[in-house]
Structures are given as structure tokens and as C-alpha cells.
Structure 1
Amino acid sequence: MCRHLAFLGPEEPLGRYLVEPPHGLYRQAWAPRHQRYGTINADGFGVGWYAEGDPVPARYRRAGPVWADLSFADLARVVRTTALLAAVRDATLSGADAEAAAAPFAADRWLFSHNGAVTGWPGSLAAVSRTLPPRDLLELEARNDSALVWALVLARLRAGDEAGQALADTVLEVAAAAPGSRLNLLLTDGATIIATTWGDTLWYLAEPGRRTVVASEPYDDGPGWLRVPDRTLLAASRTDVLLTPLKDLTEDLASTPSEEPRT
């Protein structure tokens, strides 16, 4: 479910990466080519971007399908940026959260998106949610699994964790609590892109020193796109891309003998 994309590079209009490509995120809203779960992404969309001299990103989000929003077409044509994160949301069960449920989520200098689903939601993460301060729970933008996953990531970032560690630890924690979850996470601060693959597709396009694009699926058939293996942490800048396998904590837990409770 869902498709997302992040970009770092020379200043370009939003539409250069979202609308103009033959298979861009705009088209992926109704005709994704690599989506394994769901068939149409019509329950909201959003884009976040960074303006020169301001580390806090702006966002534009709506509850409906991206192709029905004529204002977005104008926005994508004229707004320029050197970094963005955008997403289209899979058609899902109805809810009251409207555009608040659409990625990207944001706090401080960060933009975040979750492509996937938490199995057994919401009960499966009841225990995990209790690790968050009550204020964090009350400040959730939406009552969906992605918003809670974002709160877990953000809590780690604010505690001082490096971005890659925050994403990796959150994926392993949620996967242990809700086996079978799909947890492709995408995070940027405008200078780096951090992502995970856990149950769904992810690709990247790198031109070292110029631009890096990380996306659920390629937006064209040009050369250079590389697929990220499943259960991998990706860390990228404009100059390089680093891939690190994510350890499967659920297998470790299954193979470790239980211990007596400590007193």
C-alpha cells in the first residue's frame, strides 16, 4: 500500500520528480507498476519540501486523490526545491482523520513516510505505544499505524539517536510486536535520506555529487535505477548511498531461550 519518493539535488520544480516523469508518483496514484498490496492510491497525498535558508520543511497535504487537485498541479509547476519527500496513500478503510493521515508527517526539520501496514493494528502495538510519553500519544496527527510508527521514530530522534539507528530500531521493535508487518520507512532532513525495506519494494537512482532519488518504484525506464534488497537500511546523501542489512530481531527472539523474570 502507498507509494513514496524522496529527492536530494539541484533546485528543481516539484513536478520535475512527481508529475513530469512517465511513471511518476502522480501516475502511480492510479497506475503503479510494482505495488504488491492494493491497486489504487486515492485516499490522500502529500508533499513536503525545503526552502533555501529555512531548515523547517513546508507541506501540502490533501485527503483526496492527487489527480483531482488542480491546485497541486500549479504548486508542482512553480515551487522549486533542493529536497523533497512525497507520498500517495493507498485506498483504505474510511476514517475521520482526512488529510492528517496523509504523509509526509513532520516535526522539527524532519519529513517522514511509511509504505506498508502494521498487522493486527491497533491491538498489536498496544504494549509498544506505552513506551511513549503520554504527551507524544496525545499529539499524534492521526489515529493510524503510520502516525504511531512516526511517533516511535521521532521519540528516538529527540532522544539523540542517529537517524539510521532510529529507523532500524523502530522497524525491529514493531516487527517483533506485529510479525508480518510491512515497514518501508522513509525519512529526510533535507540533507540526507534514510529508508528501510521490510516487506515492500524500494529503488534508488544516484548521480554522485548531483542528485539522489529514493522511491517505492522507478518513475521512468531510464538506466541507473537499482533495487534495494528486502530488510535493508539505506542511508543516502547527494554524494553516496550506503546499504546495510537489517537484522531480523524476530528470528533472534524465536531462537533465544526464555529467561526467568528478574527481581
Structure 2
Amino acid sequence: MCRHLAYLGPEEPLGRLLVEPPHSLVRQSWEPQRQRSGTVNADGFGVGWYAPGDPVPARYRRAGPIWADLSFTDLARVVRSGAVLAAVRDATAATPDGEAAAAPFASGRWLFSHNGAVAGWPDSAAPLVSELPPVELLSLEARTDSAFVWALVLHRLRSGDELDQALGETVLQLAGAAPASRLNLLLTDGTTIAATAWGDSLWYRTEPGRSTVVASEPYDDDPHWQEVPDRTLLTASRAGVLLAPLEEPASAPSKEPCT
């Protein structure tokens, strides 16, 4: 049902994060090890990254499988960044949206990805439509559950929510409307990562003060990878990672530092 990854740290070539590791995101597109729904992520992919001095990220997205895109291999070899969000997609249902349905979704300084599915889509989400101003609903980039989830998150961000609050409150709202949903969300602004574990796997690896990676599953055998418990909100920076149970109000979580 998709695999995704976010990185904050020293500048690295995209390929070192996404292509070269033994169980890289590219490999996870055809051979995920911990994915709980679906087996092949061949319905599109995308990478977003930040350049020094520019708060607005660049994106490269395609509708086909990442392993078949020779241009991405070349791009990943030479493009370097200290903040990255990437995803490979397994579509819940076929749509005509093409690469517009591939994460990361973007607005301003934010990049976003959804690993999972809104159960009962679209009927279950109908009661939440009133949460969005009509112009935001009409501006959805794709006719998918992930695009709608992003619209809910983005509305909260534009209203002043911090990254973790926007994700946590959106997950609890969607879970109330569609309880069987899988809602692993990933969000960054280039300096902070927020993520949720809700129905699928999520891991992180951090070198406090230097770098942090948050991913659907480990991309190598480094023993420092830590699994995030289900129904958890994660907030990360280069300094480290904080975890909070999602059953608590996301606006005032009780957080414990992790190393």
C-alpha cells in the first residue's frame, strides 16, 4: 500500500538514500519486507528535496514504477540534499490521475505522503467534506483518498497547526469516520519530520545532532533502526526523535525523547 521515507541530515546524493542501500526504496517497490497490504509498489513514485537557501522543495514524480525510470537513476546520482521525502505507490484503485496521484504532494514548504487507505472511500469521507473550504476541495490534485487526506492536513497547516498536531488530529478525525483505515502519514517542511504509525510499519534511525531517517521499513541491516509502535505520532529533527501515543490529544502529547 506504498512505502515512503524522509531524511534530514548532511547533504547526500539522492541515490545514496534511495537507490544504493541493500533494501532501498527502489527495491521496496518490488520486494517490500514489512508491508502489510499489497506486494508490489509499481503505480507511480515521487521524490521531493530541498536545495540550500530555498525553502520550497523541488519534486520529481512519475506514474510508472521507479525501477523503470532511467532518468531518475541519473538524477539520483548527481542531486544532493539534506532534506528529502520520497515514496513508491501501490494504488488502492485504478484512477486516471497519473503522476498527480503520486506522493509527495506539495504546497509551499511542505511535502506529504500517505501510506495506507481510507476504508470505505469515498463514502466514509463524505462527512468530512464540510471541514474544507469549497475552493480547497475543488483544487484537489487527484481523485484519491491520499489527495483528500493531504487536503485535510494542509488546511490545518494553513490554519496554524504545527506539523505533528496537523497529522495527529487528521488521523484521529479520519479514524473516527472510517475506523478500519490505514493512516501512516509522513510530512516535512525541510527542518522537521512528522509521521504517524497507524495500521502499517514505520521505523526510524537517528544519529542525534547529525541525521534522522524515518521510513516504512529499514533500508539496511544497521542495528540502530527502531520500530515505531502502532498508533504513535513521531516528530523528528536532526537532533533526534520524539514519540507520543495517538490516543492522547495531539495538541498536548506527553513526549519522551528517543535515541
TM-score interval, smaller chain: over 0.9
Q: Which runs of 4+ in 1 moved over 6 A?
A: none
- Distance (whole Å) between structure 2 residues aligned to residue 221 and residue 173 of structure 1: 36
Shift of 1:59: 0.2
Shift of 1:248: 7.2
| 1:48 corresponds to | 48
- Distance (whole Å) between structure 2 residues aligned to residue 240 and residue 98 of structure 1: 36
Shift of 1:130: 1.8
Residue identity matched to 1:151: A
- Distance (whole Å) between structure 1 residues aligned to residue 92 and residue 39 of structure 2: 11
- Distance (whole Å) between structure 2 residues aligned to residue 101 and residue 155 of structure 1: 19
- Percent identity for Structure 1 against Structure 2: 74
| 2:11 corresponds to | 11
- Distance (whole Å) between structure 2 residues aligned to residue 157 and residue 35 of structure 1: 29
Check the 8 A contact 1:38/1:91 in 2, yes or no.
Answer: no
- Distance (whole Å) between structure 2 residues aligned to residue 127 and residue 92 of structure 1: 21
| 1:213 corresponds to | 213
Matches within 5 A, 1:148-167: 148-167=148-167
- Distance (whole Å) between structure 1 residues aligned to residue 51 and residue 86 of structure 2: 15
Shift of 1:92: 4.0
- Distance (whole Å) between structure 2 residues aligned to residue 74 and residue 211 of structure 1: 25
Shift of 1:46: 0.2
Instruction: Please list every run of 5 or more consecutive structure 2 residues that lacks an aligned counterpart in the other structure.
Output: 250-259
Shift of 1:139: 0.9
Residue identity matched to 2:42: A
Check the 8 A contact 2:92/2:117 in 1, yes or no.
Answer: no
Check the 8 A contact 2:17/2:24 in 1, yes or no.
Answer: yes
Superposition CA RMSD, Å: 1.0
Residue identity matched to 2:206: A
- Distance (whole Å) between structure 2 residues aligned to residue 150 and residue 138 of structure 1: 13
Check the 8 A contact 2:11/2:81 in 1, yes or no.
Answer: yes
| 1:114 corresponds to | 114
Instruction: Please list every run of 5 or more consecutive structure 1 residues that lacks an aligned counterpart in the other structure.
Output: 250-263
Check the 8 A contact 2:45/2:61 in 1, yes or no.
Answer: yes
Where 1:222 maps in the other structure, the secondary structure is coil
- Distance (whole Å) between structure 2 residues aligned to residue 25 and residue 208 of structure 1: 23
Shift of 1:93: 2.6
Q: Determine if the alignment matches structure 1 residue 145 to structure 2 residue 145.
A: yes
- Distance (whole Å) between structure 2 residues aligned to residue 126 and residue 189 of structure 1: 29
Per the normalisation by structure 1, the TM-score is 0.93
Q: Determine if the alignment matches structure 1 residue 90 to structure 2 residue 61.
A: no
Check the 8 A contact 1:164/1:194 in 2, yes or no.
Answer: yes
| 1:240 corresponds to | 240
Matches within 5 A, 1:52-201: 52-201=52-201
Check the 8 A contact 2:205/2:225 in 1, yes or no.
Answer: yes
- Distance (whole Å) between structure 2 residues aligned to residue 92 and residue 42 of structure 1: 12
- Distance (whole Å) between structure 2 residues aligned to residue 129 and residue 59 of structure 1: 28
Aligned residues: 249
Structure 1 or 2, whichever has the larger Rg, is 1
Where 1:130 maps in the other structure, the secondary structure is helix
Residue identity matched to 2:118: V
